[in-house]
Amino acid sequence: MFALLWVEYAMNGLADVYIAASPEERERIAAGVEALNARLRTDPSDEGESREGGGRITFPPLLAVGFHVSEDERVVQVRGVRRYGR
């Protein structure tokens, strides 16, 4: 199991996307983030795509989420969120 930390910048990005979304989109976003959080806590290195510098990116419904995994410390840090897709 990994500890999951959302940095303030990522939380603010998620809030901005959520506020601008329609009610139907908000439901999709909320369900997608809940499922993503569960995956990041259990097997984060298998989630999404790797990026330069040790980062990763994944695409839950309507979002692009950037995160970093520290295997040694067993910590996942979500570092950025933006709107992506339809």
Name the CA dihedral angle for 41, 45, 46, 48, rounded to a multiple of 10 degrees: 90
Domain ranges, residue 73: 3-83
69 vs 61: CA distance, rounded Å: 21
Q: CATH number, domain at 56? A: 3.30.2310.20
The pTM of the full predicted model, rounded to 2 decimals, is 0.93
Strands 75-83 and 3-6: parallel
* Res 85 pLDDT > 90: no
State pLDDT tens for residues 8-50: 999 999 999 999 999 999 999 999 999 999 999 999 999 999 9
Length of the chain: 86
